[in-house]
Amino acid sequence: MLNKFYAAAAILLAVGLSSCQKTDAPDQVDPITNDVINSVKALGFSTQNMMATEGGFIVEGDIFLPEGELTRSHNGTILRVGESEQYRTTNLVTGLPRVISISVDSKLPSSYVAATDEAIARFNAQNLQLSFQRVSSGASIAIKAAPKNARYLASAGFPTSNGNPYGQVLVATRQIGNQPLATVASILAHEIGHCIGFRHTDYMDRSYSCGGGTANEGASTVGAIHIPGTPTGPDPNSWMLACIGSGQNRPFNNNDKTALAYLY
């Protein structure tokens, strides 16, 4: 059986890491206080296994919430508990048709360029009004190295209120290790999915793909809006499931294609 790990954020150690690997000194980060936990719940995210990181917090395994996001007023909308449909955030990328540029930091291994190209090809094969192109600099989405002591595989955020995608994907190469290109491409496509407005397919019950306990989500300003035409039952192969198996390839399935075509 494949070991499970977050498609964009690891449990403490990713598959295949050595137990004697050097540990870096932690960066200075804000503590996870009760006020922080309550604010994260109010934004509509699970607080299970949340992590403090520079400038904010990682929730649901791979979603970066800036510290300033926690102070936003809440609209009181309660997220209903359901199955595993496709969900989007309130903010989406606008100005369609539009080309989104993506760059890969030169500090990353060259294999990440190939994985990025594969992720881009998967999106562009759908003939959406939103297409992607890799550039060397000045990109709308920059793929960069995460801090050396990162305990997640990768992280990203959601589109801005002015219709732009979230601007970066951080990848922790030490945690990803020697996963095959198709797995890394699946991780990157997943993070790009967040950048353009997709939430986890199983955001209401992460145990579906990750195991462990379930968590009821609270009021939300970020949004978790069901995408019409996607299933109301479990979808075991979606590229936006929160967790993926080691060595697994997760290209878009038919429900993913429906969701992408509906939004873009």
Classify residue 119 as exposed, middle or buried by CB count within 10 Å of its CB (0-12, 13-18, 19+): buried
- Confidence (pLDDT) at 6: 42
The CB density around residue 107, as the number of other CB atoms within 10 Å, is 9
Give the residue-averaged pLDDT of 194-207. Answer: 73
Cα 259 versus chain centre, distance: 16
Q: What integer is the mean pLDDT of 56-66?
A: 76
pLDDT over 90 (residue 17): no
pLDDT of the residue at 112? 98
Confidence of residue 100 (pLDDT cuts 50, 70, 90): very high
Q: Regarding predicted confidence, which is higher, 263 or 133?
A: 133
What is the tally of structural domains in the chain?
1
- Domain hosting residue 232, numbered range: 4-17+25-263
Average pLDDT over the chain reads 76
- pLDDT of 201-253, one tens digit each? 765 555 555 655 554 443 345 556 666 767 755 567 889 887 778 898 999 99
Distances (CA, A) of 76 to 66, 72, 115, 125: 20, 12, 40, 39
Helix 111-124 vs helix 181-195: crossing angle, to nearest 10: 60
CATH number of the domain where residue 74 is located: 3.40.390.10
Report the distance separating Cα 87 and Cα 83, nearest Å: 11
